[in-house]
């Protein structure tokens, strides 16, 4: 008996000791899925690169804790915005040193932003800076506009300049989200002299050789010298990146001595690392949440959330499918490229989608439906605005009205596409297919022969993007991850003629649109040539509006119009969860962060 008690006590004690012992107490280990693409802040446009960069480099201003619309000074001690919203003046912090020993100066700030603008790699993030500063989407477009590379250089000197301890940025037009854009990793501040030593742009008018480099051709591809709380120790591509504490940091040095981000694409391996205590934080794909919840229930892990994330999933209607498309819609057996320009059909599809079931089944309940296009947490989001709820009666009413009743009588064919392997998108597409085709029995009973045929088609990602880019998809499901935490980054891609999705949706097919403001009542009622013209004007007004209250009304107006015109179907905001070891301290959620901000974290 006593032997049993003794053995039990020893085992218990060992267990307690084992549990109490925190592995690598001053090192935070994150096991994630994907590797970074580069360490060059001007080139990077993925969250994995962003995570490393925002721990090494710093921007003029930064998000205040959990807030995405409040900012704290970082490398700028203060900033002022002129009344017309065109001139931003930043006072640069003194006494800040780069990791390699150089002093931060206003000249470094000017150089960093100018370097980012001239680099402007294809498919990169710099369009966000080019748009407000020069009203162009690429530096080449600016060169064409101004006529020469020298003229571009001169324009750069005028737009971003240093005066004493200040840096002044002059915009082409007032732009509300500019401050958010300056908080992104693409606006990180580098050490001018050090970058030039590494073979970077020398700051002269001969900028072409440094324009649009391949990732590996950038001088900062695998080197880093920032002012941030951590210094680059090692990056072994495909394996891990390790950062060490910057002991000469201008704020209090970080609590952690080291941070390591390991690339572990296989979920089982990541889970095993977490269970063994070799990873403090791991990336948990949605389908594995239940496994982690089991650990949480056993008191072996902590879950934080769910939080409204900065990612939405939506179905997009193309109002005019480009000729030659293999997905051309048919009405009564005849090609009908503008089939979806009929609002009744779009509304019918929205009513026919059982969105609650979609969220419950495909997203395990970790999402919510949005009115309009702006997600929760951004200006212009209003939960009291209406949404399309599942209602087959309303769907039928709308279908009977579509194309003056022709659609109900003659039937139609429509292809819904999604990218191969995305099961949630497949699920929602098939739900719509089943719901709309269920009307065929009733139609046949009424004596109509043509069928409602909905085809669900998956496409490999490159093919999908190619068809989307060519405006050849009729209905397509895809997701959007916010670039900057501002409603402009939602209304633009979803509604503006140059937006990533809207440019493939041909809203200009809807002509003579009458607009009567509901929220922005100071605007006159007006008839626009087409729907796109209305959207473009309101988006421009909203982004240039310096009065916060007025900007909010404009975004509410845009959100209302997105719903009224039913430009999307199944627009939902995903929720995010965070799982960590019980010994992790200090974590909080900020949807604008690309990943873990190690400065606020510790173990204990």
Partner 1 sequence: MTAYVIRRLLLLPITLFGVTLFVFGVYSFLEPGMKAALYVRDIPKTADALDRIIQKYGLADPFHVQYWRWLNQVFRGNLGWSKTAQRPVLDAILYYFPATVELVLWAAIPVLFIGIWLGILSAVHHNKPIDHASRVFALIGWSFPSYVYGLLLLMVFYAMLHWLPPGRVSDWVIKEINAGTFREVTRIYTIDAIINGRPDVLADVFKHMVLPVITLAYIQWALLLRVTRSSMLETLRQEYVMTARSKGLAERIVVYKHAARNAMIPVATMGGMLLIGLMNGAVITETVFNYRGMGWWAANAATQLDIISVLGFTLFNAVILSLGILFIDILYAVIDPRIRLE
Nearer to partner 1, 273 or 364 (CB): 273
Q: Are 91 and 400 in contact (CB under 8 A)?
A: no
Binds partner 1 by CB under 8 A, chosen from 21, 78, 157, 275: 275
What token pair was written down for 494? 């979803």
Phi, psi dihedral angles at 13 (to 5 degrees): -65, -45
Question: Do β-strands 302-317 and 330-331 pair in parallel, antiparallel, or remain unpaired?
Answer: unpaired
Residues 185-244 that bind partner 1 (CB under 8 A): 212, 214-216, 233-234, 236-240, 242
Binding string, residues 105-124; x marks residues near partner 1 by CB under 8 A: -----------------xx-
Cα 62 to the center of its chain, rounded Å: 17
Least separation in angstroms between residue 207's CB and partner 1 is 17
Binds partner 1 by CB under 8 A, chosen from 363, 480, 528, 579: 480
Cα 433 to the center of its chain, rounded Å: 29
* Three-class DSSP category at 337: coil
Question: Residues with Cβ < 8 Å from 157, sequence gap 6 or more?
Answer: none
DSSP at 97 = B
* Three-class DSSP category at 590: coil
Helix H or strand E segment including 32? strand 27-32
Number of residues that bind partner 1 (CB under 8 A): 54
Binds partner 1 by CB under 8 A, chosen from 304, 392, 481, 541: 481
Binds partner 1 by CB under 8 A, chosen from 97, 137, 161, 302: 137
User: In 35-127, where do the E strands start and end?
Assistant: 61-63, 71-73, 76-81, 87-92
Binding of partner 1 by 287 (CB under 8 A): no
Residues 389-448 that bind partner 1 (CB under 8 A): none
Binding of partner 1 by 470 (CB under 8 A): yes
The residues pairing with 169 across neighbouring beta strands, listed in sequence order, are: 88, 160
The residues pairing with 261 across neighbouring beta strands, listed in sequence order, are: 30, 241
Binds partner 1 by CB under 8 A, chosen from 46, 293, 361, 391: 46
Binding of partner 1 by 35 (CB under 8 A): yes
Nearer to partner 1, 106 or 125 (CB): 125
Binding of partner 1 by 59 (CB under 8 A): no
Binding of partner 1 by 257 (CB under 8 A): no
Binding of partner 1 by 500 (CB under 8 A): yes
> In whole angstroms, what is the distance from residue 434 CA to residue 429 CA?
9
Binding of partner 1 by 15 (CB under 8 A): no
Q: What is the DSSP string of 150-175?
A: HHHHHHHHHHEEEETTEEEEE-SS--
Binding of partner 1 by 17 (CB under 8 A): no
What token pair was written down for 398? 């709308």
Nearer to partner 1, 105 or 242 (CB): 242
**Which stretch in 87-95, 190-198, 313-321, 457-465 sits in contact with partner 1 by CB under 8 A?**
457-465
> In whole angstroms, what is the distance from residue 578 CA to residue 208 CA?
43
Least separation in angstroms between residue 389's CB and partner 1 is 29
Give residues in contact with partner 1 (CB under 8 A): 24, 35, 37, 45-46, 122-123, 125, 127, 137-138, 212, 214-216, 233-234, 236-240, 242, 260, 262, 264-266, 268-269, 271-273, 275-278, 460-463, 465-466, 469-470, 478, 480-481, 483, 493, 498, 500-501, 503
């Amino acid at each position: 008996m006593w032997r049993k008690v003794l053995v039990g006590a020893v085992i218990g004690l060992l267990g307690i000791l084992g549990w109490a012992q925190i592995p690598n107490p001053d090192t935070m280990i994150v096991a994630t899925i994907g590797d970074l693409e580069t360490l060059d802040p001007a080139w990077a446009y993925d969250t994995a690169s962003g995570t490393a960069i925002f721990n090494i480099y710093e921007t003029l201003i930064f998000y205040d804790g959990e807030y995405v619309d409040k900012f704290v000074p970082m490398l700028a001690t203060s900033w002022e915005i002129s009344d017309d919203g065109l001139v931003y003046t930043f006072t640069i912090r003194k006494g800040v040193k780069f990791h390699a020993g150089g002093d931060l100066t206003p000249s470094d700030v000017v150089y960093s932003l100018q370097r980012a603008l001239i680099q402007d790699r294809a498919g990169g993030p710099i369009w966000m800076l080019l748009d407000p500063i020069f009203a162009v989407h690429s530096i080449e477009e600016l060169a064409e506009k101004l006529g020469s590379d020298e003229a571009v250089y001169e324009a750069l000197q005028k737009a971003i300049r240093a005066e004493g301890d200040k840096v002044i940025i002059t915009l082409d037009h007032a732009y509300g989200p500019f401050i958010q854009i300056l908080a992104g990793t693409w606006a990180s501040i580098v050490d001018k002299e050090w970058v030039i030593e590494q073979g970077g742009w020398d700051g002269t008018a001969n900028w072409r050789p440094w324009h649009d480099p391949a990732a590996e051709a950038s001088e900062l591809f695998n080197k880093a010298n920032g002012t941030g709380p951590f210094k680059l120790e090692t990056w072994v591509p495909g394996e891990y990146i390790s950062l060490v504490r910057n002991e000469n940091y201008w704020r209090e040095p970080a609590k952690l001595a080291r941070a390591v981000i390991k690339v572990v694409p296989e979920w089982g391996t990541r889970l095993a690392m977490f269970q063994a205590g070799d990873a403090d934080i791991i990336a948990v794909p949605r389908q594995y949440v239940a496994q982690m919840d089991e650990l949480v229930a056993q008191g072996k892990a902590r879950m934080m959330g769910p939080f409204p994330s900065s990612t939405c999933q939506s179905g997009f209607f193309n109002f005019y499918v480009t000729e030659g498309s293999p997905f051309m819609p048919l009405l009564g057996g005849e090609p009908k490229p503008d089939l979806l320009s009929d609002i009744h059909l779009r509304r019918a599809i929205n009513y026919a989608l059982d969105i609650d079931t979609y969220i419950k089944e495909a997203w395990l309940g970790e999402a919510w439906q949005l009115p309009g296009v702006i997600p929760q947490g951004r200006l212009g989001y209003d939960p009291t605005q209406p949404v399309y709820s599942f209602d087959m009666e309303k769907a039928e009413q709308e279908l009977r009205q579509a194309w003056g009743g022709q659609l109900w009588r003659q039937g139609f064919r429509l292809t819904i596409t999604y990218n191969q392997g995305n099961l949630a998108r497949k699920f929602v597409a098939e739900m719509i297919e089943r719901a709309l085709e269920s009307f065929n029995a009733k139609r046949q009973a009424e004596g109509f022969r043509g069928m409602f045929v909905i085809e669900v088609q998956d496409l490999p990602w490159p093919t999908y993007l190619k068809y989307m880019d060519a405006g050849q998809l009729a209905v397509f499901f895809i997701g959007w991850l916010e670039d900057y935490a501002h409603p402009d980054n939602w209304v633009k891609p979803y509604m503006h003629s140059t937006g990533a999705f809207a440019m493939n949706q041909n809203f200009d097919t809807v002509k003579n649109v009458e607009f009567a403001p509901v929220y922005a009542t100071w605007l006159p009622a007006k008839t626009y040539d087409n729907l796109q013209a209305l959207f473009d004007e309101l988006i421009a007004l909203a982004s240039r509006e310096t009065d916060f209250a007025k900007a909010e009304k404009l975004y509410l107006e845009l959100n209302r119009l997105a719903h009224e015109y039913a430009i999307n179907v199944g627009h939902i905001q995903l929720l995010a969860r965070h799982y960590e070891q019980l010994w992790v301290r200090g974590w909080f959620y900020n949807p604008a962060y690309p990943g873990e901000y190690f400065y606020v974290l510790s173990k204990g």
